[in-house]
């Protein structure tokens, strides 16, 4: 089977940097994705890592260590609009993504 672990909640202040960790256990691992979901909204794609290292897209970066079965999403210069739930998801071969339970990020002024 597959399992993913991520913190249930994270709180940070506007302008700060926050890191959301994700550890996974799965065979046949292909890659790790991150999605953002605002309350009442649809999950939206943020990033995908297939290889070890850091991928940067604007204020958001995502990191993967395949040997440690670990990844994280880094959000810089936090803004109030970043308050949302963030999901990591593993890709196993051609199978559909398996999502974690999500991390609720609350950005405070």
Give yes or no for a contact between 103 and 83, defined as CB atoms under 8 angstroms apart.
no
Smallest distance from the beta carbon of 79 to other proteins, in angstroms?
Answer: 22
60 binds other proteins (CB under 8 A): no
Count of residues engaged in binding other proteins, rule: CB under 8 A: 21
Q: Which residue is listed with tokens 């109030």?
A: 80
* Interface residue with other proteins, options 48, 55, 69, 83 (CB under 8 A): 48
Task: For residue 60, give Cα distances in angstroms to 13, 46, 78.
Answer: 16, 8, 10
Q: What is the CA radius of gyration of the chain?
A: 13
96 binds other proteins (CB under 8 A): yes
Smallest distance from the beta carbon of 29 to other proteins, in angstroms?
Answer: 13
d(CA 6, CA 87): 8
33 binds other proteins (CB under 8 A): yes
Smallest distance from the beta carbon of 91 to other proteins, in angstroms?
Answer: 6
Give every strand in the sheet of 18-25, ordered side by side: 3-5, 18-25, 70-75, 60-65, 53-57
45 binds other proteins (CB under 8 A): yes
Residues found near other proteins in the complex (CB under 8 A)? 30-31, 33, 41-45, 48, 87, 89, 91, 94-102
């Amino acid at each position: 089977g597959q399992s993913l672990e991520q913190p249930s909640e994270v709180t940070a202040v506007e302008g700060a940097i926050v890191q959301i960790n994700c550890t996974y256990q799965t065979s046949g691992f292909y890659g790790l994705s991150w999605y953002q979901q605002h309350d009442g909204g649809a999950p939206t794609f943020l990033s995908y890592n297939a290889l070890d290292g850091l991928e940067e897209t604007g204020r958001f970066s995502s990191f993967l260590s395949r040997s440690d079965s670990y990844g994280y999403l880094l959000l810089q210069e936090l803004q109030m609009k970043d308050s949302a739930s963030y999901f990591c998801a593993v890709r196993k071969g051609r199978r559909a993504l398996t999502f974690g339970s999500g991390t609720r990020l609350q950005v405070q002024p």
